[in-house]
Chain A
Amino acid sequence: MHHSKAHIWFVWPAIILMIVILILPIFLAGGISFTNYNLGNSSFEWVGTENYEKMFSRKTYIKMIISTATYVLIVVPVSVVLGLVAAIMLNSLRFGADIYKTIFFLPVMATLLAMAIAWEFTLHPTLGIINSYLANGCGGIREFILGFHWLPWVSSEDSWYSVACANNMDFPYWLKDKKTAIWTICFIGVWQAFGFNMVLYLAGLTSIPRELYHAAEMDGAQSTWEQFKLVTWPMLGPTTLFVVTITTIRSFQVFDTIEILTKGGPAKTTYVMMYAIFEKAIQQNITSIGAAITVVFIIFIILLTFFQRYVIEKRVHY
């Protein structure tokens, strides 16, 4: 093997930057979280675990944890399943797959902030095309389909659609109503994320050898569903693991849509962690509590990745 001192100059810049930019800040956040330090103050005192106690007892932060968990637990499974379904459907098409792929991938590429504003207008109670579309459909086929009148147990009087039509077009306010805001934010999250998952699943599907399907057929797996259970799903194990991990980490970091659309409201129903850090530490300059949230946030993410990489990974290799 070659001997030279070159590696020192090759490796050290990266090592120094890793330490200063990625590792040091974690310890800094840890340190600040046990003080009452605020940016701009010249002195600070150690306050022990006070910031953490605040975090786990005050209503605001409990709401923060609830809305973050809601967002992650909705967006991850829905966008992963939608991505998988879209990939399988596209993979079995004989023409047109490329067009759908481009369209479904557009939200991944487009600047999320711009798209959030576009959604804001789309869902606007008076200017938006969604509510005007719903209002124009009162008494027609849209009311029948979207009001679930085709389900035997939904009577046409008390479906949400008919009630709204009867009450002077009282359709949901989406982002402005505390009952619907978080779900609307989740919907935008899924809208943005599923195309990315679809592309990863498409790559995963092409790597499954055709022979496996023939073999499964020989073994009596005739229906598409049985073949999916026997071949596709297990073979996609590593892809699924990766897709779930990356979607989870990204969902934990949701910020753009919240800041532009709801600012954590109404009634803190969309008060997710990244927004809490931003609001407390940057806007209100309460650095110490922001640091405590940061620490909890980092622990969440590191535990999650460790769990997925080292525990589940053992089970998904076939």
Chain B
Amino acid sequence: MLARHYIGESWKHGLLIIGALIVLIPFYMMVSMSLKSQQEIQSISGGLVGAQEIQTFPVCTKHGYTEEVCTMRPYKYNFWFAFKKAPIPRYLMNGLIVTVSIFLIQVLIALPCSYALAKLRFKGREFVFSMVLFCLLIPVHAIALPLYVMLAKAGLVDTYAALIIPWTISVFGIFLMRQFFMTVPDELIDAARMDGMGEYSIVWKVMLPVAIPALLAFAIFSVVAHWNDYFWPRIVITGNRDLFTPPLGIREFRGGIDSDEFGPMMASIVTVTIPLIVAFIVAQKRFVEGITMTGMK
């Protein structure tokens, strides 16, 4: 019986390991290319990290650096040159500015609204809630074109505002918070009113602290989605490099796939991708919880 159990288990591990290897292939490729020299990449040799021989890089000297500066190990060169060629910190900063602003505005709008929908009685409440339910059906990407027309008419293309405005309303956030507030006992709110608190202070001083777990889940959901979003920035940012978010930066690095060096290109892609992956691995439980909690509704 026990032996049978172990055989069953190792069979599963076998399948799962094959699956895991397939899943990891592009990650392997990405990391490996960011470390190796151009010759090793083109001849598909050197395994994961390559030989790391100190050498002089011709593309670097062509850019006007002295031979001395351009002589180093491939992994160092790839990352060094990537930062020389593109304003990577700027892209990461933009990503941060956009995702954080989106999240803060979403909370600012959604939290009071969901509190009112869950705990206040007023005329038209049912109507507002059914409006929220209807809007849940509309993916913002699907209406990107008319939104783009509106923003273009308002002269907002190529601004931070264009990156942020369409995402300021999260009906999903309203729905999630409302469901969460429904479970908060009325006594808590009544007690706060007895203490003479107004509705505004109740929202920000009583409900907000209570809602932290749900907000954290929502934060992960929102930040991940907008950090990775490529479609919308691609539409509203047409050329101003100063406004590039990480995915737009990635696209720019790729530029000429046949002409340029692959090492520095992959190094920039790794740099831009890594913050979120590291955050995920460190706080894995929270991430999975966040995604499932927001996912299950």
Which residues on A are within 8 Å of B, measured CB to CB? 1-2, 4, 6-7, 9-11, 13-15, 17-18, 21-26, 28-29, 32, 39, 86, 89-90, 92-94, 96, 99-115, 117-122, 127-130, 132, 191, 195-196, 199-200, 202-203, 239, 242, 246, 249, 252-253, 255-256, 259-260, 274, 277-278, 281-282, 287, 290-291, 294, 297-298, 301-302, 305-306
Contact = CB atoms under 8 A, between A and B. Distances in A.
Contacts of A117: 30, 250, 254, 269
Given A105-B288, A108-B291, A11 B128 contact: yes
11 contacts: A13-B112, A21-B166, A25-B150, A104-B20, A104-B23, A106-B280, A108-B291, A120-B257, A202-B292, A242-B295, A291-B146
Given A10-B115, A298-B143, 5 more contacts: A7-B116, A21-B147, A39-B152, A103-B20, A294-B143
A92 B13 CA distance: 11
Contacts of B284: 102, 105
Given A7-B120, A242-B296, A301 B145 contact: no
Contacts of A109: 224, 276-277, 280, 287
B288 A113 contact: no
B146 A199 contact: no
Task: Select the residue from A7, A107, A129, A274 with max chain B CB neighbours within 10 A.
Answer: A7
Interface of B: 9, 12-13, 15-16, 19-20, 22-30, 33, 41-42, 44, 109-110, 112-113, 115-117, 120-122, 128, 131-132, 135, 137-150, 152, 165-166, 168-169, 171, 174, 193, 198-200, 203, 224, 227-228, 230-231, 234-235, 246-247, 250-251, 254, 257, 262, 266, 269, 272-273, 276-277, 280-281, 284, 287-288, 291-292, 295-297
A70 B256 CA distance: 30
A269 B197 CA distance: 62
B137 A301 contact: yes
A302 B27 contact: no
B169 A17 contact: yes
Contacts of B117: 11
A200 B290 CA distance: 11
A57 B237 CA distance: 33
A290 B235 CA distance: 13
